[in-house]
């Protein structure tokens, strides 16, 4: 119900959560990592998902923004994102 959905559409990554839809061009993504802090290290980041104690954080750093995805299936999302990035580059 509160799951974050990530998919590739053409040369973009689309992130959906609840009623939000965020589109990130794959060519703008610099790195995808994890973050072990509660609220994320980057103070100006765009936060997606429910930040509670048991969630993990996937961090997407782009040329313009940093996105923090709060999720319980971070391994799956991180693998998807990395495969999308490597399919373009």
The enclosing domain of 62 has a CATH number of 2.30.29
Q: Range of 74's domain?
A: 5-88
pLDDT tens for each residue of 22-53: 999 999 999 999 987 776 677 889 999 988 77
**Structural domain count of the chain:** 1
Give the pLDDT band (50/70/90) at residue 87. Answer: confident
Q: Which long-range contacts (CB under 8 A, 24 or more apart) does 74-80 make?
A: 74/34, 77/4, 77/6, 78/32, 78/34, 80/6, 80/7
């Amino acid at each position: 119900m509160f799951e974050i959905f990530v998919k590739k559409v053409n040369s973009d990554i689309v992130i959906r959560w609840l009623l939000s839809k965020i589109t990130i061009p794959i060519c703008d993504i610099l790195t995808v990592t994890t973050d072990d802090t509660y609220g994320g290290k980057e103070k100006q980041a765009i936060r997606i998902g429910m930040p509670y104690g048991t969630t993990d954080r996937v961090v997407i750093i782009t040329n313009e923004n940093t996105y923090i995805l709060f999720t319980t299936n971070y391994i799956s999302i991180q693998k998807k994102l990395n495969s999308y990035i490597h399919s373009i580059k």
